[in-house]
Amino acid sequence: MAGRGCGQRGDNGWSEWGGYMAAKKRKLEEQFDKDCSNNAKQLERKSNIFHGISIFVDGHTEPPADELKKLMMEHGGVYHAYYSKDKVTYFISNNLPYAKIRKLKPNDKVVRSQWITDSIKQNKLLPTYDYEMYKDITKSRGQTELNFKRTEPMRPITSDFNVPNSDEEENNSIEKSSSSSETEDIQAEEDDHLSALDAKHPKFLETFLKRSRLHYLSSTAVAKKVYVQDLRQKLEHRQLIEKRREELKNNIQRSERDYLFKLNDEKKDKIYMHIDMDCFFVSVATRNQPELRDQPIAITHSKGKKSTTTNEHQFYSRSELASCNYAARQYGIKNGMYLGKAQELCRNHQAKLLCLPYDYEGFHEVSDRFYDIILSYTLDVEAVSCDEMYIDLTELILYLKPLHPLTFVSLLREEIQLNTKCPCSAGLASNMLLARLATRQAKPNGQCYIEKGYEQEFISKQKIIDLPGIGSSILDKLQQTSLHKSIETCKHVQNLFSLEKLKSVLGTKQGQTIYDMTRGNDIRTLAKDYSPKSISIDINYGIRFQTFDELNLFIKQLATELQKRLQQAKQKGKQLTVKIRVRSVNAPIVTEKFMGCGKTDDSSRLVNLHSFTDDLTIIELETIKLLKQMNFVVSDLRGIGITITQLQSTIKNSHGKDMHGTRTLFDCNQFRVPKLTITTDDIQNIDEPSESSVTRKRPIQQDQTTSVVPKKLTRHDCYTPGQIDPRVMNELPAEIRQEVEEHLKNPPTTLGINSELHQINIAEKSFTQVMDHLDEAVLNELPPEMRREITIAQKLRKIESKYPPVGGKRLVSAPVSSTLINKEKSNAFNVLMNSPQKQPIPKKTTNPIKKWHTETILNEENTVPIPLNEKKLNTNQQQQQQQPSIAGCTSLNDVKLMLREWIESSDEPNQIDLDLFQNYLFDLLNSYNAEMVHQLLIYGLLQLKTLTKTIWTDNFQILIDSVQTRFRQMYGGATMDLS
C-alpha cells in the first residue's frame, strides 16, 4: 500500500511532518528493512544495479508499487513508503496531479516506472533522461518563479487541477506538449538567461528573434538566395568572374590526372557540386582558437556548467545544441541534441563538452566570404543556406580544361579555408542528389567525386535514412510492408520494391520520389530564380494577452517583421492567412513548457488582397480584421501566425514554375474573381483610399500618374486583366500581350459609372480575348501547369456564363441603372465583408434553405419581399446568413470544381488548405446550409474513391469527423449520412 497517501487526504507524502507521521514513517522504513531481510531468504538478490538509489512511488504505476518495492529489494535499491527530502532520490510516477507538479523543486526528478523495469531488463542502471517527466516545468519554475506567477494572475491555477489521489482525473490534468507548426516555428530555447518577457512587451519580438537561431537560419537562407539572384543582374560582377577565371587558368599547376580527365564537350556530361561548411557554428566560433578543435565542442545558449558541479543525475539541460564538432560526434553527439544528453554521452567517455556561445556576427562574416569566393568564379549557383550551396560546374570545368574537377575544388576549398579559417567539404557528381550524398561521405574537411560508372555502386550502399527528406515514418512504412527483411540501404529498396509497390505504399508522388532517389536518379537543375510560395511569421511562444488591445499592439510587431521579410525576399503578396492556436477547452492555463502553447485547437482564415503588397498597414489591418472574425477568448490565445501567399517578385516577374508540381487549393483558383475586403469604415473613408480597401492599384498601372478618383467599388473591379497571373501574361504570344497591355495603359480618363462600365467591358473583353485567342497550338506551347490553369479558367468562364456568381459580373451587360448598381454593391458587400463586427446589416434576408441556390440569390434579393418574421432576426443571425465563400467560390458548382482540382493536384493536401476548407464548411453550417456541406462531402468522397490517395483520404476523413461533430452540436446529436 505504499506511496498512495495511506488514505488521509493531504497526507500524501509531500509535506514535512513531525510527531505521529514521523514516527509512522520511521516505522515503515524499519518495516521495509525488515521485509528486506525477511524476504532476503526467499527473494534472491539478483543484482546490485540500484545500489545507492532510493525511490518513492506516487500514483498508479505499472508495475504497481508493491511490485516495484519487490524489484528494488531484488536489485539492491531502497524503497520509501513516504517522501523524505533527504532520502528519496527519485519519484516514480506515471503522472502527477498538477498541484504536485507545482511543488516540484528544480532538481527533483520524476521518473516513469519503466526506467526500473528497463534497467532490470538490460541489467544496468540506465540514464533517466528518456524516462523523466516534467523536466520543463521544474526547470522553468526554478528560474522564473516570480514572472511565472505574475503573468497568469487571472485564474487561480490550482482550482483547475487540484484533484489529488484520483488517477482518472490526474490523467486529465497533464497536458501533452504541442507539436510544432509546419511553417517556420520559432521556439524559444530554454537557457540560463531566458528573459522573462512575454508578447505584451513592446520589444518582445525583436528580443525573441535576435535569440532565435531558426530565425537566423531562415533569414540568412533567403538573404543568400536573393543576393545570388541580384548578382546575376550585375554586369560588373560578370567582368569580375572573367578576370578571376583568367587568373586561375594562368596560375594553375596541372598534373597528369588533369590531362587524363575527359569531359564530354557537348555539355552532355553535367558536373554538379554540393559544398557545405563543416560544423559551421563551431568552426566559426573557434576560428581564432584552432587549438581547441580537438576536444568536443558545441554551440548552445546554455554554458552547461551545472553538470560539472553536481552529480550526474542532478541536472539535465534541455538547451539544444545548434552545432557540435566532429570530436563531439565521435561520441554520438549530434546537432539539435539536448545539452544534457550530449553531456551524458561525453561523460560516458570521460570527456568534457566545451559549450561556446553563438557568434552571430562571425556567422555572417564567414558566410559572406564563403559565398563571395565561390561567386567570384561562377553564378551557376543555387544558394541553400548560410553554409551550403549547389553549383553547376559543367561550364567552368570546360573553360578550365584540361583540369580534373577535383583539382579545381581543392584550390577552391583552400581559398575558403585561408579566408575564413573554417573548413568545408564538397561532393561532385552528375546530378544534385548524388553530389549532396558525396559531400556527406567527404566530411569532415574533404571532397569526393562520384565519377561516371560508379554511381550505382555508390547509391546502393547509401542508407535510406540519409537520403534528403526521408524520415523515419517513410522508413517505417517500407519496413512494415516487408516484415521479415530489414530495409536499411538503397539496395534493399531496389531489390524489394517495384515502382508500383512503392506507389501503393507511399502514394504516387512519394513512391516515385523514393524510387528515383534509391536509384540515384535526379533530373533537377539549379533553381536559380528565388520564388518562394509563402513568407510568414509564426510565434508560438510567450503569447499571453488579456485584452484585444494588447494583441493589436503585438500584431503591429508581427506585421513589421513580416514586412521586413517580404522586403528582404523582394516579394509582394496577394493573399494573407492568419493562423491561431487557442488553448483547448480542457488544457491547463499554465502550460507544461514555460510560456509555450500547450494543447491547442488551431484554425486559420484567409483574405485575398486587392493588389500585390508588402505594406505594413495593410498587413496589420487585414490581420486584425481576420482575427475579429475568429471566435476565441483573447486570454486563451497561445500562438499566432501570418502568412503571405500568391507572391510576386519585385525584381522581375518570375517564370517560376511550381518546383514541386503541387498546387494548393488557391492555386487551383488563379483566375477566379478575388474577394474584396471592404468595411463600413472603408466606405466612410472613401476619400482617403487605401490600397487594400478602396482603390486598387494594378501592378502594371502603378507608374501611371493619372490619379485614380476614388470610385465606388463594384464587383467588376476585381475582374480585370491586372488580375491575370503575370506568369501567364509572360507566356502569352507577343501580340496578344501587347493588346492586353495597351488596354491597361490607356484606361478611360473620365471615371463615372458609364466610363467605369466601359473600363470593365474593356477589361472583360481583354480577358476574353486572351482566353479566346489561345488556340490549341499556342496552348500546347505553354508549360503543362500553365496549360492546365488556362483550361480551368476556360471551364470556369463557361460555368460562370451559365450561373453568374453572387453579385454576378453578368449583370454588366444588362441595362444598368444606378440603383441596380447600388444594390449590386451592397450585395457584393454582403458577400465579401471580412469583418462581421463592421458589416452593414443587410436589409433583407432570404430563407436559409434558398441560400442553397446561390446562383440565383441576387435576383431573389432584388425581388423577394422580406417576410415579417425574418425582419426580426438579430444581427448575429443575419451575419450568419451571409453566403460563405472559399478562394473566390460561392456556388456549389464552383466549389465542387475547385475541390476536384485541389484533390487532383497533389497526393497530399496542405494543412492550411484543409483548415480553410474546414472553416468554410463550418461557415456553411453556421449559415444553415448543411445541405451544401453534405453535397460537398459526398462529392469529395466520390472523388477520392476513384483515386488511390491514402493521405488525402485519411485527411478528408479527419475533416469529415470535425464537421460531423459540429453538425451534431448544432442538430441535437444527429449525424449526416454520407453513405
Which residue from 100, 213, 581, 716 is in contact with ligand DCP, where contact means CB under 6 A?
Answer: 213
Residue 826: name its binding partner from ligand DCP, Ca ion, none (Cβ under 5 to 8 Å by kind): none
H-run or E-run covering 80: strand 78-80
Compute the distance between CA of residue 171 and CA of residue 665 in angstroms, rounded to an integer. 39
User: Catalytic site residue 901?
Assistant: no
Question: What are the start-end ranges of the H helices in 734-835?
Answer: 734-745, 753-773, 776-781, 784-802, 818-832
Which residue from 336, 469, 865, 973 is in contact with ligand DCP, where contact means CB under 6 A?
Answer: 336
Of the residues 74, 190, 388, 592, only one is catalytic, namely 388
How many C-beta neighbours within 10 Å does residue 192 have?
14
Report the nearest approach of Ca ion to the CB of residue 387 (Å). 5
Asked if the bond preceding 402 is cis, omega within 30° of 0, the reply is yes
- 453 makes contact with ligand DCP (CB under 6 A): no
Q: Are strands 110-111 and 132-133 parallel, antiparallel or unpaired?
A: antiparallel
Residue 100 or 213: the one with the smaller Cβ distance to ligand DCP is: 213
Provide CB contacts within 8 A for 727, sequence distance 6+. Answer: 653, 654, 655, 656, 786
Compute the distance between CA of residue 571 and CA of residue 592 in angstroms, rounded to an integer. 38
- 184 makes contact with ligand DCP (CB under 6 A): no
- 443 makes contact with ligand DCP (CB under 6 A): yes
Contact 583, 636 (CB under 8 A): yes
Report the nearest approach of Ca ion to the CB of residue 385 (Å). 5
Residue 213: name its binding partner from ligand DCP, Ca ion, none (Cβ under 5 to 8 Å by kind): ligand DCP
- 281 makes contact with ligand DCP (CB under 6 A): yes
Report the nearest approach of ligand DCP to the CB of residue 355 (Å). 14
Residue 217 or 624: the one with the smaller Cβ distance to ligand DCP is: 217
- 390 makes contact with ligand DCP (CB under 6 A): no
Q: Is 276 annotated as a binding residue?
A: yes
Q: Read off φ and ψ for residue 294, nearest 5 degrees.
A: -80, -15
- 438 makes contact with Ca ion (CB under 5 A): no
Cell of 168: 482518472
Residue 322 or 793: the one with the smaller Cβ distance to ligand DCP is: 322
Span 681-720, contacts to ligand DCP by CB under 6 A: none
Residue 388 or 901: the one with the smaller Cβ distance to ligand DCP is: 388
Report the nearest approach of ligand DCP to the CB of residue 456 (Å). 26
Which residue from 104, 120, 197, 277 is in contact with ligand DCP, where contact means CB under 6 A?
Answer: 277
- 190 makes contact with Ca ion (CB under 5 A): no
Distance of CA 634 to the CA centre of its chain: 23
Compute the distance between CA of residue 808 and CA of residue 501 in angstroms, rounded to an integer. 48
Residue 137 or 277: the one with the smaller Cβ distance to Ca ion is: 277
Q: Read off φ and ψ for residue 94, nearest 5 degrees.
A: -95, -15
Residue 320 or 387: the one with the smaller Cβ distance to Ca ion is: 387
Which region, judged by CB under 6 A, interacts with ligand DCP, from 272-280, 396-404, 576-584, 635-643?
272-280
Question: What are the start-end ranges of the H helices in 123-234?
Answer: 135-150, 157-161, 167-173, 204-211, 213-231
Report the nearest approach of Ca ion to the CB of residue 343 (Å). 23
Residue 75 or 443: the one with the smaller Cβ distance to Ca ion is: 443
- 925 makes contact with ligand DCP (CB under 6 A): no
Please report, as a single letter, which amino acid is at residue 799.
I
Q: From residue 39, give the alpha-carbon distance in Å to each of 45, 80, 708.
A: 10, 16, 95
Which region, judged by CB under 5 A, interacts with Ca ion, from 125-133, 276-284, 739-747, 850-858?
276-284
In a 10 Å sphere around its CB, with 0-12 CB exposed, 13-18 middle and 19+ buried, how is residue 224 labelled? buried
- 894 makes contact with Ca ion (CB under 5 A): no
Which residue from 184, 190, 191, 276 is in contact with Ca ion, where contact means CB under 5 A?
Answer: 276
How many C-beta neighbours within 10 Å does residue 859 have?
13
Q: Is 74 annotated as a binding residue?
A: no
- 281 makes contact with Ca ion (CB under 5 A): no
Which residue from 120, 279, 474, 886 is in contact with ligand DCP, where contact means CB under 6 A?
Answer: 279
- 285 makes contact with ligand DCP (CB under 6 A): no
Provide CB contacts within 8 A for 396, sequence distance 6+. Answer: 245, 377, 378, 380, 408
Q: How many Å from the N-terminal Cα to the C-terminal Cα in the chain? A: 53
Residue 279 or 762: the one with the smaller Cβ distance to ligand DCP is: 279
Cell of 226: 536573393
- 335 makes contact with ligand DCP (CB under 6 A): yes
Compute the distance between CA of residue 975 and CA of residue 960 in angstroms, rounded to an integer. 11
Sole residue written with cell 568564379: 377
Q: Read off φ and ψ for residue 8, nearest 5 degrees.
A: -100, 120
- 322 makes contact with ligand DCP (CB under 6 A): yes
Q: How many CA atoms lie within 13 A of 662 on its CB side?
A: 14
Q: Is 550 annotated as a binding residue?
A: no
Residues in binding site for Mg(2+)? 276, 387-388
Residues in binding site? 276, 387-388
- Interacting residues toward ligand DCP by CB under 6 A: 213, 217, 276-281, 322-323, 335-336, 387-388, 443
Q: Which residues are catalytic?
A: 388
- Interacting residues toward Ca ion by CB under 5 A: 276-277, 280, 387-388
